[in-house]
Amino acid sequence: MSSTHGILLSPRPYARRSGKLLLLPLLPSPKPLRPLPSEEIALPLVYARVDLPTIISLERFQKRLHLAEQKWDSIRRIPYSTPGRWVQALDLSKLAFTGQVQALQFDSVLTSLFPLVPFLARLTINPSFVLSRRALASLGERDEAVNLRSLQGISYVSGPMVSWEHDPFIRILRNCVSLEELDVVCQGPDPAELEFNFHDAGDFPPQSFKPLILPRLKTLSLLSMFSSPLMMALLFSSLPSLRKLMLTPYDDIPYPSSLVSQFISTHGEMLQSLLLFTPKSWPTRLHPSPPTLLETSPYLRHLSLEQPIPALSLTGTHPLQFLSIPRPTSDLWHALETLLPRLPRLRVIRTRDIRWLRTGMNSRAQGAGVQGEMREWRKRLSRRGVRLLDADWSDTRD
For the stretch 152-180, pLDDT in tens is 999 999 888 777 888 999 999 999 999 99
pTM of the full structure: 0.85
DSSP 94: T
What are 273's strand-pairing partners? 244, 302
pLDDT value at position 343? 96
354 close to 328: Cβ distance less than 8 angstroms: yes
Return d(Cα 363, Cα 112) in angstroms, integer: 60
Residue 22 CB coordination number (10 Å) = 10
Tens of pLDDT along 41-81?
678 888 999 999 999 999 999 999 999 998 887 666 778 88
Percentages (nearest 5) of helix, strand, coil residues in the chain: 30, 15, 55
Q: What are phi and psi of 370, to 5 degrees?
A: -70, -25
Higher pLDDT, 280 or 260: 260
At residue 23, the pLDDT reads 67
- Inter-residue contact 319 to 300 (CB < 8 Å): yes
Each residue of 364-384: pLDDT tens digit? 656 667 888 888 999 999 999
Residue 22 has pLDDT above 80, yes or no: no
In angstroms, rounded to a whole number, what is the distance separating the alpha carbons of residues 176 and 184?
15
**In angstroms, what CA-CA distances link 73 with 78, 82, 86, 379?**
10, 11, 17, 70
Q: Which helix (H) or strand (E) segment is 140 a member of?
A: helix 133-140
Contact 22, 7 (CB under 8 A): yes
C-beta of residue 120 within 8 angstroms of C-beta of residue 114: yes
pLDDT beyond 80 at 202: no
Residue 111 CA to residue 14 CA, distance in Å, equals 80
Distance of alpha carbon 243 from alpha carbon 273, whole angstroms: 6
Single-letter code of the amino acid located at 21: L
User: Which residues, 6+ apart, have CB-to-CB distance to 59 below 8 Å?
Assistant: 105, 109
Q: What is the pLDDT of residue 201?
A: 47
Contact 161, 192 (CB under 8 A): no
**pLDDT of 317 higher than 50:** yes
**Mean pLDDT, the chain, whole residue set:** 87
H/E element holding 151? strand 150-156
Task: Give me the pLDDT at residue 40, please.
Answer: 56
Of 211-215, 290-294, 393-397, which gets the smallest average pLDDT? 393-397
Highest-confidence segment of 9-18, 29-38, 79-88: 79-88
Q: How confident is the model at residue 8 (pLDDT cuts 50, 70, 90)?
A: low
Pick 91 or 196 by higher pLDDT. 91
- Predicted confidence at residue 199, as pLDDT, reads 46
Residues in the chain: 398
**For position 218, what pLDDT does the model report?**
98
Is residue 197 pLDDT above 70, yes or no?
Answer: no
Cα 129 → chain centroid: 17
pLDDT for 43: 81
The pLDDT, as a whole number, for residue 200 is 45
Mean pLDDT of 346-355: 93
- What average pLDDT does this structure show over 269-276? 97
Q: For residue 320, give the DSSP letter.
A: -
| Residue percentage of the chain with pLDDT more than 70 | 84
